[in-house]
Amino acid sequence: MTVIENSAIEEIIYKYKLDNGLTVYIMPKPGYTRQFAIYATNYGSNDIKFLDGKHREPVEVPCGIAHFLEHKLFEEQGGSIFERFSALGAQANAFTNFNMTAYLFSSTHKFYDCLNLLLDFVNRPYFTDENVEKEKGIIAQEIRMYEDNPAWRVYFNLLGALYKNHPVKNDIAGTLESITGITKEQLYLCYETFYHPDNMAIFITGDIDREQVIKTVKRSFADKDMPRRGDVKRIYPDEPADVAQPLVKQQLAVATPMFYIGFKDSDIGMSGNKLIKKDIVTGLLLNMLIGKSSDTYQSLYEDGLINATFEKDYTGEINYGFSLMGGESQQPLKVQDRIMEAINKYKQSGLNINDLDRVKRKMLGDFLMSLNRIDGIASAYIAAAFKDINLLDYPKVLDDVKISDVEERLRQHFDEKYCAISIIEPKK
């Protein structure tokens, strides 16, 4: 057991590594009414080609299979897992993103029963030809819903413009075509490859008894034989540094055009401290360039080129990353020009140290505020841990950033050749 503590912010996390490889994080939150647990595998929609550790040849599976698998784990012989959580009064859910699939519940009583159920159902798949077929109708409607959703489309169209080969350009749920062919054999194959405890972690938080939690987790695995697997290797195609296409447009039933400007990260292939630092530096930089307190944001807003929907964000994963900024605008291309202009100006003039100090205080505040939400912190912590990041290091890493770090990142990342824009136009 390792103790991960940040006394300045009054948070402590206990980390355990079980014999079968599972990592367990326990974060006591005295006074909280809810208990929350999230059990996740380091496996997401990007993992469609891999060596499974048994066969010599790589396996390729349909897009959307990780998400399909997530839906299907909620089924068991003769019933649904939802029903068993309902009987305990807990709210269960799950989500799949590019890199992770997570199963979670929130309870206010019978916590240890819920925890046991969570581990039990995720560790016990039950797929039949019939229940796989039935799910296709439900997921088809989920995909349809996203196809009509302009906020979703503008995002995925941007990824399609930034990436030529990398699977991050694919929709997480797949397409109507790709899910049609999914079979129970493929689901079992993916399950066996990626749902081994040594590829998984569980994060538990709330006003809980640490000893009892760890006892419950260990007991759940006691009767399960989980031999070490062969080495699993994920295979990602080669991806050029430049964007696939600089502009992509789609027409949908919207009132005002929507847009995202993206910058593809060419400085990739890192994890741990290097990755969290890059994440924070890029976040600071985005705030300084185009945050609400920047001259560029205010002048775009006053000229009516952007409105309150404007946002910016950086996504930093081990093998890919991108910055994006956007919202609604009558003239997205003009916004892009103005932002490029500002970037080039800052590259000449350098950044202001007072701005950096102020934006650091803002990001520290944002981080502290995020600690109020136990479900949010659990998901964020586990996602970071899969990248060898300890999220409680955030304040320290933030504090250590120097103006030269930010300026270097500005020159390296915000370059025209890494930039693409995605626009959703109103349908005439």
Partner 1 sequence: MDISTYDYRLDNGIDLHVISTRKFKTIHFNIFFHRALNKDTATLNALLPRVMKRGCQGFRDTIQIERFLEDIYGADFDADVLKKGERQIIGFRLDIVHPKYTGDDALIDKGLSFLNDIISKPLTIDEGFNQDYVEQEKQNLKDLIEGLINDKAQYAVERCIQEMCKGEPFATYVYGSTDALPGINVNNLYEYYKDVVASSPVDIFILGDVEPDAIRDKAEAIFNWPRGTVKRIPKEIIKKTVTEPKEVVERMDVLQGKLSLGLRTNTAPDDTAYPILMLYASILGGGPHSKLFLNVREKASLAYYAYARLEKYKGLMIISSGIEIENYKKALDIMLEQLDEMKRGIISSQELDFSKKALTTSLHSIMDSPQQLTDYYLSNAIVKKHSTIDQLIESINATQMDQVIEIAQRINLDTIYFLANKAMKGVEKI
Residue positions annotated with a catalytic role: 70
Q: How many CB atoms lie within 10 A of CB 110?
A: 16
| Nearest CA among 282, 245, 284, 248 for reference residue 265 | 282
Q: Is 388 exposed, middle or buried (0-12, 13-18, 19+ CB in 10 A)?
A: middle
Which of residues 42, 96, 101, 106 is near partner 1 by CB under 8 A?
A: 106
Which of residues 209, 366, 400, 416 is near partner 1 by CB under 8 A?
A: 366
- Name the segment binding partner 1 (CB under 8 A); options: 119-127, 131-139, 311-319, 337-345: 131-139
Please tell me whether residue 214 binds partner 1 under the rule CB under 8 A: no
- Shortest distance in whole angstroms from residue 364 CB to partner 1: 6
- Shortest distance in whole angstroms from residue 310 CB to partner 1: 11
Using an 8 Å Cβ cutoff, are 21 and 196 in contact? yes
- Shortest distance in whole angstroms from residue 355 CB to partner 1: 9
Please tell me whether residue 7 binds partner 1 under the rule CB under 8 A: no
Residues in 60-89 at the binding interface with partner 1, rule: CB under 8 A? 80, 82-83, 85-89
Residues in 140-169 at the binding interface with partner 1, rule: CB under 8 A? 140-142, 144-145, 147-151
Whole-number Å distance between alpha carbons of 208 and 64: 36
Residues in 328-347 at the binding interface with partner 1, rule: CB under 8 A? 328
- Shortest distance in whole angstroms from residue 111 CB to partner 1: 11
- The residue behind tokens 């900024």 is 325
Q: Nearer to partner 1 by C-beta: 8 or 222?
A: 8
Using an 8 Å Cβ cutoff, are 168 and 207 in contact? no
Please tell me whether residue 253 binds partner 1 under the rule CB under 8 A: yes
Whole-number Å distance between alpha carbons of 275 and 409: 13
Using an 8 Å Cβ cutoff, are 195 and 40 in contact? no
* Residue 354 CB contacts under 8 Å (≥ 6 apart), including other chains: none
Angle at 315 between CA 37 and CA 106, to 5 degrees: 15
- Shortest distance in whole angstroms from residue 108 CB to partner 1: 4
Whole-number Å distance between alpha carbons of 279 and 282: 5
Q: Nearer to partner 1 by C-beta: 197 or 327?
A: 327
Task: DSSP letter for 330, please.
Answer: S
Residues listed for the chain: 428
Residues in 260-299 at the binding interface with partner 1, rule: CB under 8 A? 291-293, 295, 298
Which of residues 95, 221, 236, 301 is near partner 1 by CB under 8 A?
A: 301
Which of residues 13, 92, 172, 190 is near partner 1 by CB under 8 A?
A: 92
Please tell me whether residue 256 binds partner 1 under the rule CB under 8 A: yes
Q: Nearer to partner 1 by C-beta: 134 or 224?
A: 134
Whole-number Å distance between alpha carbons of 64 and 54: 23
Please tell me whether residue 184 binds partner 1 under the rule CB under 8 A: no
- The residue behind tokens 């946002």 is 311
- Shortest distance in whole angstroms from residue 175 CB to partner 1: 13
* Structure token pair of residue 213: 């939690």
Residues in 303-322 at the binding interface with partner 1, rule: CB under 8 A? 304, 307-308
Q: Nearer to partner 1 by C-beta: 132 or 343?
A: 132
Q: Nearer to partner 1 by C-beta: 17 or 373?
A: 373
Question: How many Å separate Cα 317 from the centre of its chain?
Answer: 9
- Shortest distance in whole angstroms from residue 312 CB to partner 1: 14
DSSP 192-259: HHH-SGGGEEEEEEES--HHHHHHHHHHHHHT---PPPPPPEE------SS-S-SEEEEEES-SS-EE
- Name the segment binding partner 1 (CB under 8 A); options: 32-40, 59-67, 310-318, 413-421: 32-40
Number of residues lying near partner 1 (CB under 8 A): 72
Residues in 378-417 at the binding interface with partner 1, rule: CB under 8 A? none
72, amino acid identity: K
* Structure token pair of residue 48: 């469609």
Q: What element of type H or E holds 285? A: helix 272-290
Please tell me whether residue 8 binds partner 1 under the rule CB under 8 A: yes
Which of residues 46, 99, 107, 323 is near partner 1 by CB under 8 A?
A: 107
Please tell me whether residue 108 binds partner 1 under the rule CB under 8 A: yes
Q: Nearer to partner 1 by C-beta: 238 or 302?
A: 302
- The residue behind tokens 């797949």 is 174
